[in-house]
Chains A and B, each alone.
Chain A
Amino acid sequence: MTSITPTLDAEALPADWRDLLALTKPRVMTLVVFTGLCGLLAAPVRLPLVLAFTAVLCIALGAGAAAALNQWYESDLDAKMKRTANRPLPAGRMDRQTALHFGVGLGAFSVLLMGLATNLLAATILTVSILFYVLVYTVWLKRRTAQNIVIGGAAGAFPPLIGWVAATGDVSALPLLMFALIFLWTPPHFWALSLYIKSDYAAAGVPMLPVTAGIASTRRHVALYTLPMIAVAMAPWALGLTGATYGVGALVLNAVFLVLALRVAASRETDQSLMKPERTLFAYSILYLFIAFALIVADHLLWGRSS
C-alpha cells in the first residue's frame, strides 16, 4: 500500500496540546505538588477546600511555568542529551516562541491567582521560586559551575513553604525545616543520577560534579551531603515540632538513606550501565521524600503539634 505523508513544518504548525503539557514536566510536578500539599496540610490553619485546592493548583502551575521556561532556554542542551532529546523543543515539534509565551503566561497567571486566592506573601514566594529556578539555576548556574545543583536545589524546596504560607500567611520553623530538607536532599539525589548518566552531561557540556570532579569525588560528595540532610530531617522531632510518628519514621528512612549513600561511596564501578547502588539510591531518594513529608502530615493530623 502506498502512503502519502507530506512533510509537516513544525514551525508553521500550532503546537499540539500534549506537547504543551509535556513542557510542564508533569512527572516532576508530582513531587512539587505533593510537597506543597504537605506544607499546606501540616499548617495549623485549615483553609477552605476551594482555597487549598487553588493554592496547590498555583504551585503546580508555577512549577509548570518554570519547567517550560527552563526548556525554552535549554533546548540546545536538551538536544544533546539522550534523556531529553525527545522533548517538544529539541525534537522540533514546537517553536521556541510558543514555549516562551506559554511559560511566561502560565507563570504570571499562577502568581496572580495565588495572590487573589490566598495572600500576597504566598504569591511573592511563588514568584521568587519561579525566578530562582529560571534565572539563578537555569540561566546562571547550570552551565557555569558544578555547584549548580547545590544552590539550584533551593528552587525545588519552595513548594512546602508556599503551601504553609498560603494557609497561615506567615513563616515559622517547621516550613523552613521542610524547605531545608528538600534543599539538602537535592545534591545526593541528583548526584546519584548524574553518576550513571555522566556521559550524557559530558556530551552536552554541563558541568555536573562527575564531569568536573570525577566519579570518585562525586561518590564522596553523595555520602558527605547526606549527613547534613539527615540532621535537618531529624530536627523537627528534636525541636519538638513533630511527634514520635515522624521521629521514628524519619529515623528508619534516614538510616536506609545513609546505608545506600555509603554503598554508593564504597562502590568502585566506573561502567555506567553497572551502577546499581547509584540507581537504587536515586529511586529510594524519591520514595524517601514522599514518605518523610507524608509522615510530617500524618504526625500533625494525629497529634496536631506543628506550629
Chain B
Amino acid sequence: MTEETAEQVRLRQAEHARMLKIRMTRPEDVARQRQRQRSLITALLLGAFVVLVFGISVAQIKLNW
C-alpha cells in the first residue's frame, strides 16, 4: 500500500468535511440536531430547577423554623 502525501490527506479531509456539511444541511438533520440541542438544554434546566426547588425548600424551612 502506498503512503498518502500531505496534499492527498488534505484533499481527502476537505472532501470529508464537505460531505459532512452537505449532510448537516439536510432539513431532517438540522431538525434532529436542533432537537438534540433543545433536549440537552431542557434536561440541564430541569436538573437546575430540581436543585433550586430543593434550595428553596431548605430556605423556607429555616425561615419558618
Residues of A within 8 A of B (CB): 1, 3-6, 8-9, 12-17, 48, 50-51, 54, 57, 116-117
Contact = CB atoms under 8 A, between A and B. Distances in A.
Chain B, interface residues (CB within 8 Å), range: 20 to 34
Contacts of A9: 27
B52 interface: yes
A8 B56 contact: no
Given A8-B30, A14-B35, A15-B34, A48 B63 contact: yes
Contacts of B25: 4-6, 8
Interface string B19-47: 00110011100110011011001000000
Nearest to B42: A17
B27 A14 contact: no
Contact of B18 (A1, A16, A50): A1
Interface of B: 18, 21-22, 25-27, 30-31, 34-35, 37-38, 41, 52, 55-56, 58-60, 62-63
A6 to B, nearest CB: 6
A13 B37 CA distance: 13
A226 B62 CA distance: 46
Contact of A117 (B21, B30, B56): B56
Contacts of A15: 34
11 contacts: A6-B25, A8-B27, A9-B27, A12-B27, A14-B35, A14-B38, A17-B37, A48-B62, A48-B63, A50-B58, A54-B56
B59 A48 contact: yes
Contacts of B30: 8, 13
Contact of B59 (A6, A13, A50, A57): A50
